[in-house]
A and B are shown apart, each in its own frame.
Chain A
Amino acid sequence: MNTVAMADSARAAAPALDVERIRADFPILQIRPRGRPLVYLDSAATSQKPRQVIDALRRYYEEENGNIHRGVHYLSELATLRYDETREATRRFLNAESVNEVVFTRNTTEGINLVASSFGQAFVRAGDEIVVSLMEHHSNIVPWQLLCERSGAVLRAVPVTDTGELDLGAFESLLGPRTRLVALTWVSNSLGTVNPVERIVAIAHARGIPVLLDGAQAAPHLAIDVRAVGCDFLAFSGHKMLGPTGVGVLYARGDWFDRLPPYQGGGDMIDTVTIEKTTYAKAPSRFEAGTPDIGSVVAFRAAIEYLERTGLDAIQRHEHALVAEATAQVGALPGVRLVGTAPGKAGVLSFTMEGVHPHDIATILDQHGIAIRAGHHCTQPLMQRFGCGATARASFYLYNTMDEVNALVAGLHRVREVFA
């Protein structure tokens, strides 16, 4: 869509979401798993994709496919242009200063691994400390543990309160002269807690400590302004925010990328190569070795524009209404324990049911066409903190409705009947 049409539809957008119109953009919502209408409540795992993104992917392969930064022919130039257009769209989406602060990765995990590897190599030595928290996804724990094993650094974890919030007092006291980096999630994938990232960054920066934010669950739901937040690094995935799988973003503020050694070596990341010595390209190319998932990056722009056109503030209001209703109804069911009750949560409801394992809840709901996640959600330290091995998690996005909240509740009644 061109910019004029975008501006028009942005003006036309009503404050509340037109969910029926949005749903019509998502072909997959028409399928009938096991003969029932699909109730998709697993967007925190991966979101569904609008027609606009699918069309962009098809258009790319049918009309625009060539390798980037290589050829002088028509298709190579066009693919390069499209690829760079997504980089600019991402910069605008984040309110970053420069496209050189935006590197494309496969996903959030790869972005965090990149920082753990390159930042670690440049700045982390034996006895240094990295601060994470108990509510991190394994992808924001394990890369740092690997770094600690390599370097002799020490991993510290910020505790979590009973409502599922970071203990900021404990966070402050964990920061010391050897703290090299703070790596925290913006929004918890298991609990939905939205962490006060501006305060966190301010506290760390006051001590001269850089901050990486895991934005996997933030980018789909919040209007992001990296300049306001002030974080040094931000990693997120395209597939959780309406985009295709295979594309993620690593943002690094200012000259951070120029201060880091390369992550992977290969084509496209070099300046000149001789057998004796190689000099490297500047960021972002330096961190994009090899042919990337060009088609997915190109189509990712359609996802960004879809979110911008719909309005992240409106999306957030819609999700809050769904979560509030789901919290009230599910929370009132006998034997249900809500896990994570922080105010202002993003679109996640995590819970357990007395006498019924989350897997069994998920299987029974699935028989009614309702997709939720059951398990530890790749947050085992957090599950241990709350004394449960697993939870059932319903997650909501812009295409979900109150009817679907009601379907979830009706499904949970059925679970009770089976396990009575």
Chain B
Amino acid sequence: MDLGALYEEVILDHNRSPRNWGDIPGATHVDGRNPLCGDRITLSLQVEDDVITDVRFTGEGCAISKASASMMTQAVKGKTRKEAEAIFEGFHDLVMGKAGTAPPDKSLGSLRAFAGVSRFPARVKCATMAWHALREGLSRES
């Protein structure tokens, strides 16, 4: 199996230098955890007038979970709650392999690099941990 399918260059890059790394003091904080492996993420989230104006994260995890969190923050910043939810749906289908053999939805942008995760069932949770934290944060913000 081609390892490149999982560890795409863009994923390795975000793992090395995660974007939006840090904390937003006073914002909504959500902890994400994977009890199976002990990985964790702390997401801080700022929503104004239904728009995600800022989102940052810190934590400890594998390349997949870290890059997923990093690229998620880029993808949802400036988006409305509904737009972010739509991106999550598309991303979720992608890593669960529900998109089938069709080429990944172009609107996912660089998140399409995670298509390979669907072939590694044990790693799907790594890819979705930050997203579940985001959704919990958004539900608390509403």
A interface residue numbers (CB < 8 A to B): 34, 355-360, 363-364, 367, 374-376, 380, 383, 389-390, 418-419
Contact = CB atoms under 8 A, between A and B. Distances in A.
B122 to A, nearest CB: 8
A359 B126 contact: yes
A232 B106 CA distance: 65
14 contacts: A34-B1, A355-B16, A357-B61, A357-B62, A357-B63, A357-B66, A359-B62, A360-B62, A363-B120, A364-B3, A367-B3, A375-B38, A380-B38, A418-B12
Contacts of B40: 389
Contact of A363 (B12, B36, B60, B123): B123
Contacts of A374: 37
The 5 closest A-B CB pairs, nearest first, are A359-B62, A357-B62, A376-B38, A375-B37, A389-B60
Nearest to B37: A375
Contacts of A358: 62
B64 interface: yes
Contacts, number: 49
Nearest to B5: A367
A374 B34 CA distance: 13
B115 interface: no
A131 B139 CA distance: 42
A27 B38 CA distance: 34
Interface residues of B, number: 22
Contact of B1 (A367, A418, A419): A367
B6 interface: yes
Given A357-B61, A380-B38, A419-B63, 20 more contacts: A357-B62, A357-B63, A359-B37, A359-B39, A359-B61, A359-B64, A359-B126, A360-B7, A360-B62, A360-B64, A363-B120, A363-B122, A364-B3, A364-B7, A367-B1, A383-B38, A389-B38, A389-B40, A390-B39, A418-B3
A358 B39 CA distance: 11
B37 A390 contact: yes
Contacts of A360: 7, 62-64
A389 B37 CA distance: 8
B120 to A, nearest CB: 7
B126 to A, nearest CB: 7
B39 A389 contact: yes
Contacts of A418: 3, 7, 12
Nearest to A361: B62
Given A34-B1, A357-B61, A389-B60, A363 B39 contact: no
B38 A419 contact: no
Nearest to A375: B37
Interface in B44-82: 60-64, 66
Contacts of B37: 359, 374-376, 390
A357 to B, nearest CB: 4
Nearest to A364: B3
Contacts of B63: 356-357, 360, 419
A380 B36 CA distance: 11
A355 B66 CA distance: 12
B36 A375 contact: yes
A359 B36 contact: no
Nearest to B36: A375
A375 B34 CA distance: 10
Contacts of B60: 389
Contacts of A383: 38
Nearest to A379: B38
Interface string B104-141: 00000000000000001011001000000000000000
B111 to A, nearest CB: 19
Contact of A419 (B12, B64, B122, B126): B12
B123 A359 contact: yes
A375 B62 CA distance: 10
Contacts of A389: 38-40, 60
Contacts of B15: 419
Nearest to A34: B1
